[in-house]
């Protein structure tokens, strides 16, 4: 009897060649799994059938959108997750979800092997493999693209033709694209030169900000315990809110990123992203937190957010640190409910209002007007004690001039 392998199958050339290669070169029975995480993919039923036509013993297209939003993006939002303070992690968030389904399907079919079509140079292989190992250490991973000796797209096309793998009729775009509900990543082609401005044709979710409408658009986002629950006053599922905000903010040219980032495998890479919905939601969520979190929690959380984003970027979704950080973030979100108003205008998204029944903002304490309820006398004693360590230091070591040692020497000369 043949061994079975579960393949993460997208329907593109790479994973199609993988599907055939696993049968021809490795003698596997292949089970193809195509996950719908909200990517811009024409027809999942066709992709599913294509796998069967190429000899897969089973093929499935699994709708993971709601699970992606509710079990993955909610955590990312609670963590205001931006890797290196910039990238909302769209590819890093989808791989552990796909891995979870692949492992479950492997168990269901009694497959000992799981395969993916990632290269050896990227982050996604690390995310798949680390997630799969965390969920079932006994599963063996096969990475055909890392193993085979097809060194160019031409060689791959040749192999495909020789083995009856349908090759795309249209010319392939020069870019490598990965997309889902949380945004779109564009790499390769001319973007490999970090000095080269991204060509206009890479962007598909966002309009050029100079072409965006001349009138701003206001959007009100409701949150319940950190999770978006309404748009402009209308209750909506989180998954639909993300989708809707991608359209709205994209139409105003908001959410383009052009970055150089540090990959897990030690390489710096130039990446462009379109993340309109993700960025609006992170900005709005942060704004609500400024009302609802006490200062110490808010400050502590900033460091934890960085750690969470780095762990998830590095493929550690299913890891003790990341899960413990989730528990912390969940605890911080219990009063993060209310609404935030944003203004979308020609490539920008400005938070222009925030409100919450749990707001810690106290008008009497904050106001400089007649309603002022702040204890000004107490401030004098507070300042004395707050400054005590530095006044002690200054009395002992001499007054701090504010100049560098060199500037001080020059001033003395
Ligand atoms: N650099 C991003 C990341 O590592 C995007 C990866 C995109 N993946 C792809 N297969 N094109 O998360």
What per-residue confidence (pLDDT) applies to 107? 98
CB 143 within 8 A of CB 118: yes
Marked catalytic residue, from 59, 65, 94, 95: 95
- For residue 302, name the pLDDT band (cuts at 50, 70, 90): very high
pLDDT bin (cut points 50, 70, 90) of residue 42 is low
Residue 39 CB less than 6 A away from ligand 1: no
* pLDDT band of 412, cuts 50, 70, 90: confident
The CA distance from 279 to 77, in Å, is 10
Ligand 1 center to 262 CA (angstroms)? 11
Q: Does 274 sit in the ligand 1 pocket, CB within 6 Å?
A: no
Tokens standing for residue 195: 């000095």
**Which residue owns the Cα nearest ligand 1 atom 3?**
91
Ligand 1 contact via 92 beta carbon (within 6 Å) = yes
Contacts of 66 (CB under 8 A, 6+ apart): 237, 239
The pTM for the full model equals 0.95
Cα angle vertex 63, ends 71, 278, to 5°?
Answer: 50
Average per-residue pLDDT for the chain: 95
pLDDT at 401: 74
Asked if residue 273 lies in contact with residue 186, where contact means CB atoms within 8 angstroms, the answer is: yes
Nearest CA to 68 out of 153, 195, 179 is that of 179
In this predicted structure, the answer to whether residue 383 has a pLDDT above a threshold of 70 is: yes
Indicate if ligand 1 lies below 6 Å from the C-beta of 156. Answer: no
pLDDT at 196 over 70: yes
Task: Calculate mean pLDDT across residues 168-197.
Answer: 92
- pLDDT value, residue 336: 98
pLDDT over threshold 90, residue 173: no
Q: How far apart are CA 156 and CA 139, in angstroms?
A: 28
State yes or no: pLDDT of 110 exceeds 80: yes
Query: Above 90 in pLDDT, residue 358?
Result: yes
Query: Which residue of the set 29, 124, 178, 179 is catalytic?
Result: 124
């Amino acid at each position: 009897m043949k061994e079975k392998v579960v393949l993460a199958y997208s329907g593109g050339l790479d994973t199609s060649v993988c599907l055939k290669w696993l049968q021809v070169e490795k003698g596997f029975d292949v089970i193809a799994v195509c996950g719908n995480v909200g990517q811009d993919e024409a027809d999942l039923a066709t992709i599913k059938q294509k796998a069967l036509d190429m000899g897969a013993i089973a093929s499935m297209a699994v709708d993971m959108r709601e699970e992606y939003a509710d079990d993955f993006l909610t955590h990312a939002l609670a963590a205001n997750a931006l890797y290196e303070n910039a990238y909302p992690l769209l590819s890093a968030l989808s791989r552990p979800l796909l891995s979870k389904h692949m492992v479950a399907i492997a168990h269901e079919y009694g497959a000992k092997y799981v395969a993916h079509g990632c290269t050896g140079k990227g982050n996604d292989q690390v995310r798949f493999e680390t997630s799969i190992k965390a969920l079932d250490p006994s599963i063996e991973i096969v990475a055909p693209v890392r193993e085979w000796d097809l060194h160019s797209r031409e060689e791959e096309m040749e192999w495909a033709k020789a083995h009856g793998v349908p090759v795309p009729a249209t010319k392939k775009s020069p870019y490598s694209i990965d997309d889902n509900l949380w945004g779109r990543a564009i790499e390769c082609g001319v973007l490999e030169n970090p000095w080269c401005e991204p060509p206009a044709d890479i962007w598909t979710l966002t309009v050029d900000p100079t072409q965006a409408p001349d009138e701003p658009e206001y959007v009100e986002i409701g949150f319940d315990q950190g999770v978006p629950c309404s748009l402009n006053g209308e209750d909506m599922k989180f998954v639909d809110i993300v989708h809707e905000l991608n359209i709205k903010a994209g139409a105003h040219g908001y959410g383009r990123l052009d970055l150089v980032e540090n990959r897990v495998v030690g390489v710096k890479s130039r990446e462009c992203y379109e993340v309109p919905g993700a960025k609006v939601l992170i900005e709005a969520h942060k704004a609500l937190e400024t009302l609802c979190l006490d200062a110490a929690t808010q400050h502590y959380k900033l460091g934890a957010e960085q750690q969470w984003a780095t762990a998830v970027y590095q493929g550690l979704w299913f890891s003790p640190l990341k899960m413990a950080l989730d528990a912390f973030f969940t605890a911080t979100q219990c009063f993060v409910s209310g609404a935030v108003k944003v203004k979308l205008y020609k490539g920008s998204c400005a938070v222009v209002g925030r409100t919450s029944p749990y707001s810690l903002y106290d008008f009497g304490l904050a106001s400089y007007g007649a309603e002022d309820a702040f204890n000004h006398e107490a401030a004098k004693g507070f300042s004395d004690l707050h400054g005590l360590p530095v006044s002690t230091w200054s009395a002992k070591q001499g007054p701090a001039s504010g100049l560098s040692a060199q500037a001080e020497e020059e001033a003395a000369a």
